[in-house]
Amino acid sequence: MIKKLSPAVINQIAAGEVVERSSSVVKELVENSLDAGATRVRVEVRSGGAELILVGDDGDGFLPEDLPLAFASHATSKLADVHDLEHIGSLGFRGEALASIGAVAKARIQSRRHGAREGWEIRCEGGVETPSQPCGCPEGTRIEVRDLFFNVPARRRFLKSAHAERARIQELIAELSLARLDVDFTFVADEKEILRLPHGDTLAQRFQRCFGDELGKGLVPVARTFAGLSVEGLVGEPDLARRDGKLELMFVNGRLARESSALYAVRQAFREYLMGGRFPVYVLQLTLPADQVDVNIHPRKAEVRLVEARKVAGCLHETVRAVLQGRLGMNLSAGGVVIAAEMPRARSGFPALPSTLFGESALGFAPAAVVPTSHTVREVSTATPTTHGATAPAARPNPFVRATGRYLQVMDLYLLLEGPDGLLVVDQHALHERVMYERLRRQHAARAVQIQRLLVPVVVEVSPSEMAWLTTSQELLAAEGLLVEPFGPASIAVNGVPTVLAKLDCKKLVRSLLVGDEVAGAEPLRHVVAERFHSMACRSAVMSGDRLSDAEIQSLLVEAATLEHPHNCPHGRPTVLTFSTAELERYFRRRC
Ligand SMILES: Nc1ncnc2c1ncn2[C@@H]1O[C@H](COP(=O)(O)OP(=O)(O)OP(=O)(O)O)[C@@H](O)[C@H]1O
Ligand SMILES: [Mg+2]
């Protein structure tokens, strides 16, 4: 029998989409505070938010007559009709958050408008509201959420430990705060102040406060303006790379939201420097006309869609690549590159651009390419560089070019030699990895991968799906230097391998390349395969602990002098440390 669900059940089901865990409540409440024009936001939690979440702000406050609608679903002050959806300038727009929170917790709002004599409060517990009434409270709004999921035991059981929830909330506040340097954020957990982020920090300062001083060191400021798009932020040098993508922070018009082609474009720009499994660190704020962004595609507003996704991806790729190549860095220090520092700010705090800027003709892109590598991107304005608290380093020269021929191998791990600026300590394994990686990449780029043919083919057994994949990818593999052909129903014969990888066990090589079905995702197969080959190149590098002969060391150093990116191994670890003469003199107190 079909029955209509009661509003309470409907709300609880809808709430399941919006409120997943404690941090989702914090996200919604903080975003509301920012939308209300707050300059100070204070978040307090107890037991990871399961017991209490309290968000206070000094924003506009609710109109007393609006309070009865606060917990109503589909009730918002931020959207009037369907056309408004096309140019949303606030973080909220659905009128769903408070209704969802009220449906699955015990919530109370206290709010006083600026200059009003008294405040008003209203409660909602498990979807049941009590009428609003006057109360004493400071100007602004204070929202208290107790006993999250008290009426949805299944959900409550799925909350992670208080410790894990608290950590996620801390990360979330840190992330949200990066888009609003003009706002003061405080986070208190179990009566202890965890984060204190004063307004007026530079992006680099705030990033460091949030994620640690260590991470702040290698951040290069970036600021570029294209027609209808500005890209501003910090890009981490490859040695900051992490095992997860948590610090790939991209904001679109002030909203921390994923957009797959933009994310992919930045990863592509890092590809030369980082290998699979390593994720870059960056904070990039993209600003584009509101009608170019569809924010209404994800229940938790965690993703956006861009009308001109390919063009934006192209700009991003170009921008990040330029930073990594050190070009932008040099331009910045010479006082060249730009962002319109004072763009008009919308009420919610992020810059608003007139939509006419996004003229088709103004952009010099190849429209069909996902991430065009040869296009020219036109910069449309040059003013004074923004300061992010960090000065952009100039491109670093290759230290091996002018190193002397004398060296010492110590601990079967490091090489000591004299470089142009002082003493170089080289990690032989990291450097050799870089050498092998670039050697294979160069051959690959020139479509001239050297192949070592095997006198006797090596036969490798494969499963039916592996066989199917190998047969369809045969040409792709041949271009990478691996010659294979079917050999009977359940095995393949390997007739040749890339010379760079000739030392490796042939069977293991094939096994590690059998990427199979799992790669059907976003990245083109060609890239995945190339990446696997490159990582094999690394694996064939000399290990730390291998004693190298003089001839091996010499040829390693000779090749190091030709490297395009000599400073890091492909996983982002440094290959060489330089102790300058001045530094050594200080250590030995020759100089104060
Ligand atoms: N901290 C606050 N200060 C002032 N007004 C607020 C605050 N929080 C919420 N409001 C008001 O309550 C309304 C409902 O908030 P709610 O978060 O449920 O919806 P929304 O922000 O409009 O949209 P979304 O569901 O996408 O967040 C808002 O439109 C706003 O008018
Ligand atoms: Mg909201």
Partnered with residue 484 across adjacent β-strands are 494
Position in ligand 1 atom list of the atom nearest CA 90:
21
Is the Cβ–Cβ distance between 230 and 289 less than 8 Å?
no
177 and 270 together in one domain: no
Partnered with residue 461 across adjacent β-strands are 491
Query: What confidence category does residue 284 fall into, taking pLDDT thresholds of 50, 70 and 90?
Result: very high
Residue 250 to residue 27: CA distance in whole angstroms: 16
Q: Residue 169 maps to which CATH number?
A: 3.30.565.10
Lowest model confidence (mean pLDDT) among 37-46, 318-327, 332-341, 428-437: 332-341
Among 64-68, 300-304, 507-511, 517-521, which range has the highest average pLDDT?
64-68
Query: What confidence category does residue 524 fall into, taking pLDDT thresholds of 50, 70 and 90?
Result: low
Residue 571 to residue 367: CA distance in whole angstroms: 32
Regarding the beta carbon of 140 and ligand 1, being less than 6 Å apart is answered no
164 and 235 together in one domain: no
Residues 163-187: pLDDT tens digits?
A: 999 999 999 999 999 999 999 999 9
In whole angstroms, how far apart are CA 275 and each of 46, 278, 299? 40, 6, 33
Query: Is residue 539 exposed (0-12), middle (13-18) or buried (19+ Cβ within 10 Å)?
Result: middle
Mutate to test the pocket of ligand 1, among 18, 32, 41, 183 (most ligand atoms within 8 A of CB): 32
Return the pLDDT at 592: 61
313 and 441 together in one domain: no
* Residue percentage of the chain with pLDDT more than 90: 38
Question: Is the pLDDT higher at 56 or at 500?
Answer: 56
For the segment 250-264, the average pLDDT, to the nearest whole number, is 91
Domain housing 40: 7-195
pLDDT at residue 362 greater than cutoff 90? no
Lowest model confidence (mean pLDDT) among 35-39, 192-196, 249-253, 297-301: 297-301
* Residue percentage of the chain with pLDDT more than 70: 85
326 and 453 together in one domain: no
For the segment 439-454, the average pLDDT, to the nearest whole number, is 83
Ligand nearest to the CA of 85: 1
Cα of 159 to ligand 2 centre, how many Å?
22
pLDDT at residue 536 greater than cutoff 50? yes
Return the pLDDT at 84: 83
Residue 367 to residue 539: CA distance in whole angstroms: 38
3-class DSSP state of 454: strand
Q: Residue 230 maps to which CATH number?
A: 3.30.230.10
87 and 104 together in one domain: yes
Question: Is the pLDDT higher at 407 or at 54?
Answer: 54
Query: What confidence category does residue 70 fall into, taking pLDDT thresholds of 50, 70 and 90?
Result: very high
Query: What confidence category does residue 464 fall into, taking pLDDT thresholds of 50, 70 and 90?
Result: confident
Nearest CA to ligand 1 atom 8: 32
For the segment 314-339, the average pLDDT, to the nearest whole number, is 60
Lowest model confidence (mean pLDDT) among 59-63, 413-417, 479-483: 479-483
Average pLDDT for the chain: 81
Query: What confidence category does residue 523 fall into, taking pLDDT thresholds of 50, 70 and 90?
Result: low
Return the pLDDT at 467: 82
| Domain end point (choices 168, 195, 222) | 195
Nearest CA to ligand 1 atom 13: 76
451 and 586 together in one domain: yes
Nearest CA to ligand 1 atom 12: 70
Query: What confidence category does residue 380 fall into, taking pLDDT thresholds of 50, 70 and 90?
Result: very low
Regarding the beta carbon of 32 and ligand 1, being less than 6 Å apart is answered yes
Regarding the beta carbon of 36 and ligand 1, being less than 6 Å apart is answered yes
Ligand nearest to the CA of 75: 1
Regarding the beta carbon of 119 and ligand 1, being less than 6 Å apart is answered no
Is the Cβ–Cβ distance between 6 and 149 less than 8 Å?
no
Lowest model confidence (mean pLDDT) among 26-40, 91-105, 250-264, 373-387: 373-387
Return the pLDDT at 29: 98
| Domain end point (choices 195, 230, 265) | 195
Question: Is the pLDDT higher at 334 or at 51?
Answer: 51
Return the pLDDT at 572: 74
273 and 149 together in one domain: no
For the segment 422-429, the average pLDDT, to the nearest whole number, is 90
Return the pLDDT at 507: 83
Cα of 62 to ligand 1 centre, how many Å?
9
Question: Is the pLDDT higher at 584 or at 378?
Answer: 584
Lowest model confidence (mean pLDDT) among 195-209, 297-311, 367-381: 367-381
Q: Residue 535 maps to which CATH number?
A: 3.30.1540.20
Maximum separation of any 2 CA atoms in the chain, in Å: 92
140 and 241 together in one domain: no
Is the Cβ–Cβ distance between 201 and 209 less than 8 Å?
yes
Return the pLDDT at 544: 65
Regarding the beta carbon of 95 and ligand 1, being less than 6 Å apart is answered yes
Regarding the beta carbon of 124 and ligand 1, being less than 6 Å apart is answered no
Residue 109 to residue 98: CA distance in whole angstroms: 10
Return the pLDDT at 340: 30
Q: Residue 317: what are its φ and ψ, rounded to 5°?
A: -60, -50
In a domain, 460, yes or no: yes
In a domain, 107, yes or no: yes
Q: What is the count of structural domains for the chain?
A: 3
pLDDT at residue 228 greater than cutoff 90? no
Return the pLDDT at 121: 97
122 and 66 together in one domain: yes
pLDDT at residue 376 greater than cutoff 60? no
233 and 161 together in one domain: no
Regarding the beta carbon of 94 and ligand 1, being less than 6 Å apart is answered yes
| Domain end point (choices 171, 195, 219) | 195
Alpha-carbon torsion, ordered 510, 513, 514, 516, to 10 deg: -170
Give the number of other Cβ atoms within 10 Å of residue 524's Cβ. Answer: 11
Regarding the beta carbon of 241 and ligand 1, being less than 6 Å apart is answered no
77 and 166 together in one domain: yes
Residues 103-150: pLDDT tens digits?
A: 999 999 999 999 999 999 999 999 999 999 999 999 999 999 999 999
pLDDT at residue 46 greater than cutoff 80? yes
519 and 465 together in one domain: yes
Residue 142 to residue 121: CA distance in whole angstroms: 9
For the segment 453-467, the average pLDDT, to the nearest whole number, is 85
Regarding the beta carbon of 61 and ligand 1, being less than 6 Å apart is answered yes
